[in-house]
Amino acid sequence: MELKDIESYYKNISDGELIQIAANSQDLKIEAIPLLYNELSHRNFQREKEQVNKTYFLLEEKMKIRELIFERLKNNKVIEYEPIELQYNDKISSIFKGDDALINCLSEFILDNNQIENIFQRLNEVISLQENDVENIRNLLKKKGKKIILKSSIVTVFFLFFFLVVIGTASYYSSAIYQLIYLLFIFVSFVIGAIQIVKGVQLIRAASKINNG
């Protein structure tokens, strides 16, 4: 929905529905929160206004920290970083939730530093993880690794099957050069798939090395 549609929706729902949305304002896009705040002001819901305003502040801070974490992980430089401090009662690991781009950036960082003995210490130097973040980060990375393996396996099997069918049906009509091209595609598909599967396995193993010891 566009912002004007969201604004119109807030204006036309009941008080009870508006209050319910305000109670779950942390699930809204940050752009929609000021529209909700304005409608709450119009209906003089003071308590809900304060709650929504606090949510907006927290989400804004979270977005800033998200950009900071993304930049630090992407740069992956050994420099003296200032610790990241949350201004609200939450975990650093919660910022990664549902953010595929940030999880991908974290995964690349982990794989780049896979040979480091204490990978948690290296990660902590960059994004200031707390002890209660460790399990969440480890689970995120393992889930990402399993997803890579599953997706790569399915895609590789599909392409192998597809090209084998093509070769089988076209063998009587295609010249040797075309059959050679088909075989080359099969080989390339297999290699690319194998590389991604290995990457997924490496990510799972690297995640297992993350601990606070």
Domain ranges of the chain: 1-75, 99-213
**Both structure tokens of 171:** 């063998």
- Convert the pLDDT of each residue in 24-46 to its tens digit: 888 888 888 999 999 999 999 99
The answer to whether the CB of 70 falls within 8 A of the CB of 106 is no
- Residue 65 pLDDT class (50, 70, 90 cuts): confident
Average pLDDT of 14-29?
89
Q: Residue 182 half-sphere exposure, CB side, CA atoms within 13 Å?
A: 18
The answer to whether the CB of 73 falls within 8 A of the CB of 109 is yes
Q: What is the reported pLDDT for 80?
A: 55
Q: Is the pLDDT of residue 79 over 70?
A: no
SS3 of the chain: CCHHHHHHHHHHCCHHHHHHHHHCHHHCCHHHHHHHHHHHHHCCCHHHHHHHHHHHHHHHHHHHHHHHHHHHHHHCCCCCCCCCCCCCCCCHHHHHCCCHHHHHHHHHHHHHCCCCCCHHHHHHHHHCCCHHHHHHHHHHHHHHHHHHHHHHHHHHHHHHHHHHHHHHHHCCCCCHHHHHHHHHHHHHHHHHHHHHHHHHHHHHHHHHCCCCC
